[in-house]
Amino acid sequence: MRNKRLIFSALWLFSSLMLAPVWSLASKLDRVEPMFWWAGMNNPELQVMVYGENIAENRVELSYPGVTLRQVVQVANPNYLFLELSVGPQARPGKFDILFKKDGRTQHSYSYELRQRREGSAQRQGFTPADVIYLLMPDRFANGDPGNDDMPGMLEKANRQDLDGRHGGDIKGIANHLDYFVDFGVTTLWINPLLENNMARYSYHGYAMTDFYKVDPRFGTNQDYAELVRQAHGKGLKVIQDVVFNHCGLNHLFVKDPPGTDWVHNFPEYTRSNFRASTMSDPYAARADIERFNHGWFDSNMPDFDQDNLLLRQYLIQHTIFWTEFADLDGIRLDTEPYPTKGMVADWGARMRQEYPNMTLVGEAWLDYEATTAYWQADVRNSGDGFNSGLRSVTDFPLKTAMQNAFKEQDGWTSGTLRLYEVLGKDFLYADPMYNLTFVDNHDLPRYYREIGSELDRFKLGLAFLLTTRGIPMIYYGTELLMDGDEHLGHGHIRHDFPGGWPGDAKNAFTAAGRTADQNEAFDFMRALMRWRKDAKAIHGGRLLHFIPENGVYVYFRQCPSQTVMVLLNNTDAEARVSTARFAEVMAPFSSAKDVVGGTTLSDLRELVVPAKSPLVLELR
Ligand code: CA
């Protein structure tokens, strides 16, 4: 102790002589977040978190035209300071020093940069119903750089034999396959979280973040991520970032050295959320249930954030703006939308609309019913409590469940394709059902191919419906390969490596030669529809009109002034001969049609023949 003090004094003397008045650069600040910001944001408010041992002992000064230090907020823990800045419209891009002074002496200096925004940054267009999203898990997609599989300081090492371990996939692996997505007909990538998850186990999935401002080094660098998005944009692909407000990883700084007692919800013993998201919109819900839902932990490794803490709320909101600007995002997917407080979600939605009115935000609203799902979409009608999430898109779990069941059942009063018909019939509940995110499975669900009994004809019916009905379709990676996987055996089983993504893989499914006959049939079928869909205006923005399924055949139309699309889904085990007189209100002006998958032309539309358990997608002429 005494020796330390002596060394300290000696250093102080040395530094004072050599570097006065700034002597302490050797003891640098641990963190300043956001590390930099942008001039010309719509909202001038900027909260800068500063972290370093006893940083609160310092007085903070800065001087820059257009920038005001409105307030320095101290919290219980002296290792934090929160600087409330106002960055006015007259602030130009440039750098200024934030000085931390004690006893009139500058202890630390941080050069803060206000960057120039990209042209059109505020007007960025989000993803729309014209897009097809491809969801991929970066650890499991492709390993473009085996050199980063294990990184110094990262607790978990790669082990490809362990289904729950890290496999080494990374940003470079995604960048290496951009042409695959384009060829397949994908227009948008949704990448499971890329930010640091420095956890000892299960770090691969990305939802236990330990740093909100840093890409996990096993995926690459922040710069690599921005470069990936730039390259994707160059090929016409959009990119959606996956963000998490509800929780962090147990090794996050806010848990290891908490700023105060009101950052993470703590209980005498481990207390899980009740996962009953419907409590958030239930007019009769008990407060105890609501609090348990909102405050309980998502998992023992994922502490629950207290978003009623406005410093934390601002911190979380700002990090999404940071990544939007830095990486040039096209959309954001909010994990577990109902779990952070409603105030947090509404504040975020409003702030994002203020900064990026045309960008698309999608909330993961994992609810079983249409009404409770609709509650989480922006501008919901009759929410009952005035809640408005501000998120234009929501995940459509009710339609997912209908798609899982429809094609393995015979049509009945409420079974088979009647499930689809009845779910869509409740779309009046949604403010904007065309923006519902639709999917047959995802990274948390059994693989679709398994769910429908591993039958290719049912698979085609499901995918044809997904790609032609209303909504923004999302395809989970590997669906095109008929990937199998039972979620009940563990999440690793629904997150297998993409074959060919790793050097030395026995098969390379990125090429037709590396796929089985069935895989090629599935891939080619999807590709034909997805490529056609890119220019199918009736699917992008046309109205949907459907007829009650009859004799096991569900018929619907998508129609805009320049295009009419007719879809027939034969859910029976026999060929269907469908008389079209019943559809005259749409079909009367048309005399021929093109089969958009098969490519043939039909010159007589009075009776349409649909093979057993098959879809038929026609463009009417
Ligand atoms: Ca790697």
- CATH number, domain containing residue 342: 3.20.20.80
Whether the pLDDT of residue 516 is over 70: the answer is yes
Instruction: Report the DSSP beta bridge partners of residue 394.
Output: 363
110 and 233 belong to one structural domain: no
247 and 267 belong to one structural domain: yes
Q: What is the mean pLDDT of the chain?
A: 95
603 and 571 belong to one structural domain: yes
- Residues 621, 613: Cα–Cα separation, whole Å: 25
* pLDDT tens digit sequence for 101-148: 999 999 999 999 999 999 999 999 999 999 999 999 999 999 999 999
* pLDDT tens digit sequence for 311-345: 999 999 999 999 999 999 999 999 999 999 999 99
Question: How many angstroms separate the alpha carbon of residue 203 from the centre of ligand 1?
Answer: 14
129 lies in some domain: no
* pLDDT tens digit sequence for 214-251: 999 999 999 999 999 999 999 999 999 999 999 999 99
Question: How many angstroms separate the alpha carbon of residue 173 from the centre of ligand 1?
Answer: 8
Question: How many angstroms separate the alpha carbon of residue 143 from the centre of ligand 1?
Answer: 5
271 and 418 belong to one structural domain: yes
Amino acid 28: pLDDT: 57
197 and 49 belong to one structural domain: no
Terminal-residue alpha carbon distance, the chain: 88
Question: How many angstroms separate the alpha carbon of residue 133 from the centre of ligand 1?
Answer: 24
Whether the pLDDT of residue 21 is over 50: the answer is no
Give one DSSP letter per residue of 137-169, joined into a string. Answer: -HHHH--S-GGGSS-TT-SPPB-TT-TTSB---
Phi, psi of 608 (to 5 degrees): -110, 135
- Residues 219, 500: Cα–Cα separation, whole Å: 18
Question: How many angstroms separate the alpha carbon of residue 166 from the centre of ligand 1?
Answer: 9
Question: How many angstroms separate the alpha carbon of residue 214 from the centre of ligand 1?
Answer: 17
Instruction: Report the DSSP beta bridge partners of residue 614.
Output: 570
Report how many helices (DSSP H) and strands (DSSP E) the chain contains, helices first: 17, 24
164 and 310 belong to one structural domain: yes
123 lies in some domain: no
Whether the pLDDT of residue 64 is over 60: the answer is yes
Question: How many angstroms separate the alpha carbon of residue 209 from the centre of ligand 1?
Answer: 19
- Residues 59, 50: Cα–Cα separation, whole Å: 12
185 and 219 belong to one structural domain: yes
Amino acid 273: pLDDT: 97
Amino acid 175: pLDDT: 98
Question: How many angstroms separate the alpha carbon of residue 139 from the centre of ligand 1?
Answer: 8
Structure-block tokens of residue 235 = 């090929």
Question: Whose CA is closest to 501, among 103, 140, 44, 132?
Answer: 140
Length of the chain: 621
Question: How many angstroms separate the alpha carbon of residue 157 from the centre of ligand 1?
Answer: 11
User: Using 50, 70 and 90 to split pLDDT, how confident is the model at 19?
Assistant: very low
> Using an 8 Å Cβ cutoff, are 593 and 621 in contact?
yes
Amino acid 521: pLDDT: 98
Question: How many angstroms separate the alpha carbon of residue 349 from the centre of ligand 1?
Answer: 34
Question: Whose CA is closest to 47, among 95, 79, 97, 81?
Answer: 81
Amino acid 262: pLDDT: 97
Among 512, 534, 556, which residue terminates a domain?
A: 534
Amino acid 14: pLDDT: 42
173 and 191 belong to one structural domain: yes
Amino acid 17: pLDDT: 41
Q: Where in the sequence is the domain holding 613, given as residue range(s)?
A: 542-620
- Residues 544, 560: Cα–Cα separation, whole Å: 9
- Residues 67, 460: Cα–Cα separation, whole Å: 58
27 and 94 belong to one structural domain: yes
Among 504, 534, 564, which residue terminates a domain?
A: 534
> What is the percent of the chain where pLDDT is above 70?
95
* pLDDT tens digit sequence for 243-302: 999 999 999 999 999 999 999 999 999 999 999 999 999 999 999 999 999 999 999 999
583 and 490 belong to one structural domain: no
4 lies in some domain: no
- Residues 169, 174: Cα–Cα separation, whole Å: 8
Neighbours of 504 (CB within 10 A): 5
Q: What is the CATH number of the domain that holds 569?
A: 2.60.40.1180
Q: What is the set of active-site residues?
A: 335, 364
Neighbours of 594 (CB within 10 A): 16
* pLDDT tens digit sequence for 438-467: 999 999 999 999 999 999 999 999 999 999
**122 Cα distance to chain centroid:** 20
User: Using 50, 70 and 90 to split pLDDT, how confident is the model at 16?
Assistant: very low
132 lies in some domain: no
Alpha helices in 281-416 (DSSP H): 287-295, 310-327, 342-355, 370-374, 397-406
Q: What is the mean pLDDT of residues 431-439?
A: 98
User: Using 50, 70 and 90 to split pLDDT, how confident is the model at 488?
Assistant: confident
Whether the pLDDT of residue 512 is over 90: the answer is yes
231 and 344 belong to one structural domain: yes
Angle subtended at Cα 142 by Cα 136 and Cα 147, rounded to the nearest 5 degrees = 130
396 lies in some domain: yes
Q: Whole-model pTM?
A: 0.94
> Using an 8 Å Cβ cutoff, are 228 and 235 in contact?
no
6 lies in some domain: no
- Residues 478, 501: Cα–Cα separation, whole Å: 12
520 and 575 belong to one structural domain: no
Whether the pLDDT of residue 9 is over 80: the answer is no
Among 117, 152, 174, which residue terminates a domain?
A: 117
* pLDDT tens digit sequence for 399-413: 999 999 999 999 999
- Could you tell me which residue, 166 or 23, shows the higher pLDDT? 166
Q: What is the mean pLDDT of residues 72-83?
A: 97
Question: Whose CA is closest to 186, among 462, 400, 477?
Answer: 477
Q: What is the CATH number of the domain that holds 99?
A: 2.60.40.10
Rg value, the chain, Cα: 27
Structure-block tokens of residue 502 = 């790793």
- Side chain identity, residue 358: N
Amino acid 382: pLDDT: 84
Q: What is the mean pLDDT of residues 58-74?
A: 98
Give the environment of ion ligand 1: residues with CB less than 5 A.
Answer: 143, 145, 148-149, 168, 170
8 lies in some domain: no
12 lies in some domain: no
Structurally, the chain folds into a number of domains equal to 3
Question: How many angstroms separate the alpha carbon of residue 149 from the centre of ligand 1?
Answer: 4
User: Using 50, 70 and 90 to split pLDDT, how confident is the model at 383?
Assistant: confident
Neighbours of 61 (CB within 10 A): 14
Question: How many angstroms separate the alpha carbon of residue 174 from the centre of ligand 1?
Answer: 11
Angle subtended at Cα 323 by Cα 240 and Cα 304, rounded to the nearest 5 degrees = 85
* pLDDT tens digit sequence for 576-614: 999 999 999 999 999 999 999 999 999 999 999 999 999
Question: How many angstroms separate the alpha carbon of residue 504 from the centre of ligand 1?
Answer: 14
**Range 107-113, long-range pairs (CB < 8 A, 24+ positions):** 107/24, 107/27, 107/58, 108/24, 108/25, 108/27, 108/28, 108/29, 108/52, 108/55, 108/58, 109/22, 109/25, 110/29, 110/32, 110/50, 112/32, 112/36, 112/37, 112/48, 112/62, 113/36, 113/37
